[in-house]
Amino acid sequence: MTDFSTPIQFGELKLKNRVVMAPLTRSRASVDRIPTAMMAEYYAQRASAGLIISEATVISEAANGYEKTPGLFSDAQVEGWKNVTHAVHAKDGLIVAQLWHVGRVSHPDLLQGATPVSASEVKQAGYVSLLRPKREYVVPRPLAISEIKAIVEEYKQAAIRAKVAGFDGVELHAANGYLIDQFLQTSTNTRTDCYGGSVENRVRFLLEVVDVLIEVWGAGRVGVHLAPRGDEHDMGDDAPRETFGYAMQELGKRQIAFFFTREYLADDSISLEMKARAQGVPYIANMRLSREDALDLLRSGQAEAVSFGKAYIANPDLYERLVQDEELNELNLEHMIGTDVAAGYTDYPFLNKQLLES
């Protein structure tokens, strides 16, 4: 019977178990977006996961929406990531880089005065995350077609750098209301050119980026991260089953390594419908999963792997705790984001101290 410890092959990626560490923004990089030694320790501590998906990593300085998130657009950043990937591989772990452009989820104060870009001129409701004093999001500037092509190339260059940095593959962040999601969903895409209107046009940007990632890595080392519920950053789609179903149909044709959905289990969830159209592409389930939920998904074959976020922040040995059905550490909310100290980052206790020293 399939359970947490059952190995699986995702394309060219051989996972030693079915527990995946979700991408988690922690804002621990340098001001130049270079991964630090503390980040290498943090990821190495969690290398017993079947797969680590790195925190979201910007493909250019213009792609950012948060301070001190890491990048993959400079040689210094590549060198910093090498320390991370080497540390994970030394612990027999597997790690892919999540590539990211936030689009309108930014502010001129984070972009040297430039206006954030998006699919269309649709302002996001609410206030910019983490900037103080609080300030509202601004109306974004729609990307010209030539700019879209340039961003596709930036994704390709980031994928090349990820390979140099020693990652095992890449995952495209196309979820949570960031740039590619802004093209996918009707609430943020009101374009009338070849990137707007029909579902085929709205999915075009996603597929163009996936295709260049495949050029660099091969389909068997490329994953895609989607959020069909549209419950982050003021998103929404008129027909999510059609939009995300078509996206998965096209990704299935490309036989990518895996797809990951951030969608909690509910009667209106559509991830399993997406899986049905994915032509055998492995599915990683995520969001608010209990241990029992995760086992049910694996044992029933509804998901090939299960992923955890906050639980992995607080439990570097989460895989072992799930297998043994052990109590989990309490999450330190005070130090979730952006500090330069080990507290709440690399100081969470292991069940067995030997795991930390092995």
* Residue among 179, 235, 230 at smallest CA distance from 208: 179
- Mean pLDDT of the residues in the chain: 96
Q: Residue 310's pLDDT is what?
A: 97
Q: Which residues of 292-302 are buried (b: 16+ CB within 10 A; e: fewer)?
A: ebbbebbeeee
Q: Which tokens go with 293?
A: 């939920």
For residue 246, which amino acid is it?
Y
Q: Residue 358's pLDDT is what?
A: 41
Looking at residues 341-345, what average pLDDT do you find? 94
Q: Residue 355's pLDDT is what?
A: 45
Report cis status (omega within 30 of 0) of the bond before 133.
Answer: yes
Give the global pTM.
0.97
Q: Residue 339's pLDDT is what?
A: 84
Q: What is the pLDDT of residues 39-82, one digit of tens each?
A: 999 999 999 999 999 999 999 999 999 999 999 999 999 999 99
Angle at 181 between CA 180 and CA 182, to 5 degrees: 90
Instruction: Answer whether 94's CB lies under 8 Å from 51's CB.
Output: yes
Q: Residue 338's pLDDT is what?
A: 85
User: What percent of the chain stands above pLDDT 90?
Assistant: 95
Q: What is the pLDDT of residues 236-272, one digit of tens each?
A: 999 999 999 999 999 999 999 999 999 999 999 999 9
Which residues on neighbouring strands pair with residue 51, listed in sequence order?
A: 20
Q: Residue 353's pLDDT is what?
A: 57
Q: What residues act catalytically?
A: 178
Q: Residue 1's pLDDT is what?
A: 81
Query: What's the length of the chain?
Result: 358
Residue 356 has pLDDT above 70, yes or no: no
Where residue 357 falls among pLDDT bands split at 50, 70, 90? very low
Q: Which tokens go with 175?
A: 């979820």
Looking at residues 279-307, what average pLDDT do you find? 98
Q: What is the pLDDT of residues 311-334, one digit of tens each?
A: 999 999 999 999 999 999 999 999
Q: What is the pLDDT of residues 165-214, one digit of tens each?
A: 999 999 999 999 999 999 999 999 999 999 999 999 999 999 999 999 99
Residue 229 has pLDDT above 50, yes or no: yes
